[in-house]
Structure 1
Amino acid sequence: MGWFSRRRRPKDMPALGRSDGPLMDIDRKAVEAHLRAFVEGHRGVEAYVEPATSVTTTTIVLIAWDGEWTRRAVGERKDAFALAQRLGVPVYDVNHTGYPNRMRQWNSRKRRGDA
C-alpha cells in the first residue's frame, strides 16, 4: 500500500464541504441575531468591516463606546455593509480607518481582569 492511497476517498463517498475559511457556510440569521443583540445591549456601537483572508471570510466587528467588541463572519464585503445599515450603526472599512483605541484599551483591561 502506498503512502497516499490511504488518503483517497471512495468514489461513492461525497466530498465534504469546508467548514471554515472563505468558503464556509454562514448561518446568516444567527449572525444577524447575535449582532443585533449586541447593538441593543450596548451604547455607541460602530461597525468595522475586515477583509477576507486566505483563512477567514469577510468579518464584521462591532465595537461599543467602552471598547467591548464582538466579531462574526458575514461572507462578502457588501453583505457586511448592508448588515451594518440594517442594524443602524455607522460602518467603516478597517483598512482605511484602523481600529479605535478604545478596543485595544478594553482588551488590555480584560487581560488584567479589570473589564
Structure 2
Amino acid sequence: MAVRSVSGYVDDAVATRLQHVARVEGRTPASLVGQALGLYVSLPEAARTSLRRIEALGTAQEQDHLRGEIVRLLLRLDMDLTERRMAEELGSKLPRVRNEEEAAEAALAWERTGGS
C-alpha cells in the first residue's frame, strides 16, 4: 500500500496526549494520526457533520457521553470478535453432539480425561 504524508495542526494539549499515547502503545505519532484520520474519513458525511456539531455546540457532558458511547461500542465489538475467534478455535476441538444425552456423555468423558 502506497502511503503519503499529510500535515495538520493541533493544540498543545492534543500534541502532548498524542506523544503520550504513542509512547505507551509503542507507536509513532504519525501512525496514530493516520489511523485516526482513516477512521474519520471512512465515516459517512452525516456522521462527520454530527461529530463536528457535537464538538462545536455540545456541552462537556455531551462530549463525554459521546466518548463513552464510542468506547462502549468498541469494547463490545472487540468482545464479539474475541468470542467469535474463541468459538472458531474451540469448535474444532469440541465433540459433535446431536442431543442432550450425547452432550452429557461427552461432558463425562471430558471430565474423566481431566479436561484435555
- TM (norm. structure 2) is 0.24
- With the length of structure 1 as denominator, give the TM-score of the two structures: 0.24
Query: Per chain length, whose mean CA-contact separation is higher, i.e. which structure has more relative contact order (CA < 8 Å, sep 6+)?
Result: 1
Where is the strand percentage greater, Structure 1 or Structure 2? 1
